């Protein structure tokens, strides 16, 4: 077990993983709130009661989410080789069992990035369907 000033390194890794998991849960609740708004817009569209303001809201948000999706894709493309390098360094530096404990943070962070990308893709798809 590696220690930094008497403090186990595994605890730092696990705390960092928990922080990222809390971030994933927070993203889920944000997603749920935004989905409620989109479902209200879908209900208005089904009743043919979308106002011009609603249509502008849909257009602006769709464009914003498309830009966000491009940023998410770029971040994932940048992070993927970085994560592979980090995992390689961990595997060389630590024994296999200790490395696997630290790799947990990499896996959780990768999931966090993909959750954001999937949410953005879903918003774009729903907003496009509202524009038709």
- DSSP designation for 7: E
Q: Whole-angstrom Cα distance, residue 75 to residue 111?
A: 13
Helix pair 52-93, 9-46: axis angle to 10 deg: 160
Environment class of residue 9 by beta-carbon count within 10 Å: exposed (0-12), middle (13-18) or buried (19+)? middle
User: Is pLDDT larger for residue 49 or for residue 132?
Assistant: 49
Q: HEC profile for 72-92?
A: HHHHHHHHHHHHHHHHHHHHH
Q: What pLDDT score does 10 carry?
A: 86
Scanning 1-132, the segments in alpha helix (DSSP H) are 9-46, 52-93, 96-131
Residue 2's SS3 state is coil
CB 28 within 8 A of CB 118: no
What does pTM read for this prediction?
A: 0.84
Q: Tell me phi and psi for residue 57, to 5 degrees.
A: -60, -45
pLDDT tens, residue by residue, 77-95: 999 999 999 999 999 999 9
Tell me what the mean pLDDT of segment 108-115 comes to: 96
């Amino acid at each position: 077990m590696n220690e930094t000033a008497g403090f186990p390194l595994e605890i730092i890794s696990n705390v960092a993983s928990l922080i990222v998991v809390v971030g994933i849960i927070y993203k889920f609740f944000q997603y749920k709130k935004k989905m409620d708004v989109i479902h209200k817009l879908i209900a208005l569209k089904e009743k043919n009661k979308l106002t011009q303001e609603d249509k502008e809201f849909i257009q602006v948000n769709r464009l914003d989410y498309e830009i966000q999706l491009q940023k998410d894709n770029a971040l994932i493309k940048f992070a993927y080789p970085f994560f592979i390098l980090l995992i390689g360094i961990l595997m060389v530096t630590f024994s296999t069992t200790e490395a696997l404990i630290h790799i947990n943070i990499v896996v959780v962070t990768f999931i966090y990035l993909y959750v954001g990308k999937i949410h953005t893709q879903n918003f774009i798809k729903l907003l496009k369907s509202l524009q038709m």
